[in-house]
Amino acid sequence: MADFPNEIRINPAALNKMIIGGIAVGLIAIGLYTSFFKVDPREHAIVLRFGKYTGQPITEQGLHFKLPFGIDRHQIVEVTTMQKEEFGFSTQSAGQRTRYASRNRNQSETSLIVTGDLNIADVEWSTQYVVNNAYNYLFKVRNADETFRAMNEAVMREIIGDRTINEVLTSGRSEIQQEVKDKLQSLANQYELGIKLEEVILQDVNPPESVKASWNDVNQAQQERSQKINTAQAEFNKVIPKAKGDAARVIEEAKGYAVERVNNAQGDADLFKQVYSAYKLAPEVTRKRIYLETIGKVFTTGPETTGPKKIILDEEAKGLLPLLNLNTGGK
């Protein structure tokens, strides 16, 4: 067999050194890669050493060290990002015009809730929250998200079950939202979910599709009834106060007239008493004075004289014109 003078010969010792060096470099690279992790401003990190929690969560942003090769493991939790759970519907795309996907069977079953008066309401709602305790959120409950969804359904059914269908569909929505939020926060604190509720929104509340048309007819009739009642009340408020004002004015005028008549009568009575007192002192003189005053009033003439014509006849006169016309003003 011929020898090949140009054949490359590898020293086994050098090869071993190269392999060991490559492994060492690889281990160093892996060690460096698994020794650092990054925490963003909106995140908190939890570090586990051999699966056991090491202490306080890491809240400072930037690069952080941990033991390599899987000795330490970290989990990142977003704590300032608003998260949302939807019930009875799902958002297909959010934006300027939010689009909602068609409901599946599970969503329809979730949204149908029995009210306190044994009607059924189709309730779609969403719950917005943030994680305020990363450790509790990850480790206090086996699955915090599923537990929180179950709490939502239970609380919403409890609150709506205490109200009538009219309250749920009309005036009671804001109260329901607040009650559900308060109850959910209390349960989240009790189970240490590490969640802070921000808002509960009743997205849409309707009667079920099978009775929606009939319900709308009833609702429209009730609205028309309320409108007519309000119109009648407005007319009542406009007419009745005016009538009461007119009645009060007439009553006051009548009272004033009565007072005037009484005062006039009282004055006449006082005058008569004075005349009678004078008459008792000098009957003949008083009688003549009254007679002359009366005759003077009767025979008063002049341009301003008003009343019936006054004619005096002289019974002893024998001429053709036995009268004195007192209405000519002296002419």
148 has which bridge partners?
Answer: none
64 neighbors 55 (Cβ within 8 angstroms):
no
- Give residue-wise pLDDT tens across range 7-31: 556 677 777 777 887 887 787 778 7
Superfamily of domain 83-207: Band 7 domain (3.30.479.30)
Average pLDDT, the chain: 79
Q: What angle do CA 165, 177, 140 make, to 5 degrees?
A: 125
Provide CB contacts within 8 A for 180, sequence distance 6+. 125, 152, 155, 156, 159, 200
- Give residue-wise pLDDT tens across range 298-327: 776 555 555 566 666 556 655 555 555 555
List strand residue ranges (DSSP E) for the chain, in order.
Answer: 36-39, 43-49, 52-53, 62-65, 72-78, 83-87, 90-93, 99-101, 112-114, 120-131, 195-206, 311-313, 323-325
- Give residue-wise pLDDT tens across range 130-160: 998 888 888 888 899 999 999 999 999 999 9
Would you give the distance in Å from CA 25 to the centre of its chain? 68
Residue written as tokens 């409901």? 103
pTM of the model: 0.56
* Percentage of the chain modeled with pLDDT above 90: 21
DSSP for 47-103 reads: EEETTEE-SSPB-S-EEEE--TTTTEEEEEEESSS-EEEEES-EEEE-SSS-EEEPP
- Choice between 70 and 182, residue whose per-residue pLDDT is larger: 182
